[in-house]
């Protein structure tokens, strides 16, 4: 990762809907020909007897931002848990051309890292201690100090608060800390669950802009969101999940223009 100058450290990002940058301006791109980094086929998962996910097929190519959108209880978090091997599942998952490891620890070590819903920070630890926890599996200890500084360049607000207890920060700052902690693991694929939940639009915009920077540095992103407008504004492609099944997919622009998506999620028809 390079230590580029910070660019999103203030509250100056425009509010969504009015002066927000056009979706294209966030750098959406597709790489249709690339071999998938994550390839999921016929995934079924649930809790005990209760099946939640049915025959999920999904692929994410290197350096894509892919949105998984859907309403309350659609199964989005369950999908992330299944990919992270936190719950049992049936089906085939390939990561970087190999079968995905069977345990959560090995999945993490392979470079597939989740930013969980609700952040789940170590509240009574400082920001910097949280970030160091993200790097606990790394063997390149000498590179960690430089990567910490890089996180503070990406998230300048965290630099100001590096000694502050994570639990005492605002929701937006905690989300930044959770994302930075995940990035400290040097993930190939970062899966972010409900990043926007409870945050002001100006903060969501700032985080979405950060997402495009993270992708530009080579990290592939799966963004799981109830805020469909936010997710599609930054994604290259997306999938729509309803009651455990994929009911739509396409480029972000195709989904935004889809009357069903507009009716169900964008409040436009």
Residues making contact with ligand ATP (CB under 6 A):
47, 50, 52, 70, 72-78, 194, 226
Closest distance of CB 238 from ligand ATP, Å: 14
Distance CA 203, CA 222 (A): 19
Whichever of 78 and 196 has its CB closer to ligand ATP, that residue is: 78
Closest distance of CB 114 from ligand ATP, Å: 13
Whichever of 68 and 154 has its CB closer to ligand ATP, that residue is: 68
Whichever of 154 and 241 has its CB closer to ligand ATP, that residue is: 241
* Contact present, 267 and 60 (Cβ < 8 Å): no
Closest distance of CB 46 from ligand ATP, Å: 7
Q: Copy the structure tokens of residue 251.
A: 């480029």
* Contact present, 221 and 214 (Cβ < 8 Å): yes
CA-based R_g, the chain, Å? 18
Closest distance of CB 106 from ligand ATP, Å: 22
| First and final C-alpha spacing in the chain | 43
Closest distance of CB 87 from ligand ATP, Å: 8
Distance CA 13, CA 38 (A): 32
Whichever of 47 and 136 has its CB closer to ligand ATP, that residue is: 47
Whichever of 72 and 142 has its CB closer to ligand ATP, that residue is: 72
Ranges of H-type helices in the chain: 76-83, 104-110, 127-134, 144-154, 156-160, 171-183, 201-216, 228-234, 252-257, 259-261
* Contact present, 38 and 97 (Cβ < 8 Å): no
Whichever of 12 and 72 has its CB closer to ligand ATP, that residue is: 72
Closest distance of CB 204 from ligand ATP, Å: 16
């Amino acid at each position: 990762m390079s230590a580029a100058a910070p660019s999103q450290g203030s509250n100056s990002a425009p509010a969504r809907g009015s002066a927000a940058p056009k979706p294209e301006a966030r750098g959406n791109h597709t790489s249709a020909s690339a071999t998938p980094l994550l390839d999921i086929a016929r995934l079924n998962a649930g809790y005990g007897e209760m099946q939640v996910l049915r025959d999920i097929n999904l692929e994410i190519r290197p350096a894509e931002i892919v949105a998984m959108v859907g309403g309350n209880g659609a199964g989005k978090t369950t999908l992330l848990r299944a990919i992270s091997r936190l719950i049992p599942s049936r089906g085939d998952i390939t990561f970087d051309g190999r079968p995905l490891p069977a345990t959560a620890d090995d999945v993490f070590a392979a470079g597939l890292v989740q930013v969980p819903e609700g952040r789940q920070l170590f509240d009574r630890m400082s920001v910097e201690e949280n970030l160091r926890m993200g790097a606990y599996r790394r063997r390149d200890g000498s590179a960690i100090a430089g990567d910490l500084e890089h996180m503070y360049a990406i998230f300048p607000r965290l630099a100001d608060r590096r000694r502050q207890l994570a639990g005492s920060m605002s929701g937006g700052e905690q989300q930044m800390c959770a994302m930075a902690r995940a990035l400290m693991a040097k993930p190939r694929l970062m899966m972010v669950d409900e990043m926007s939940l409870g945050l002001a639009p100006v903060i969501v915009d700032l985080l979405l802009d950060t997402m495009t920077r993270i992708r530009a540095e080579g990290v592939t992103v799966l963004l799981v969101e109830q805020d469909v407008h936010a997710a599609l504004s930054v994604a290259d492609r997306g999938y729509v999940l309803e009651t455990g099944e994929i009911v739509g997919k396409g480029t972000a622009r195709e989904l935004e223009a889809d009357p069903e998506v507009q009716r169900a999620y964008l409040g436009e028809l």
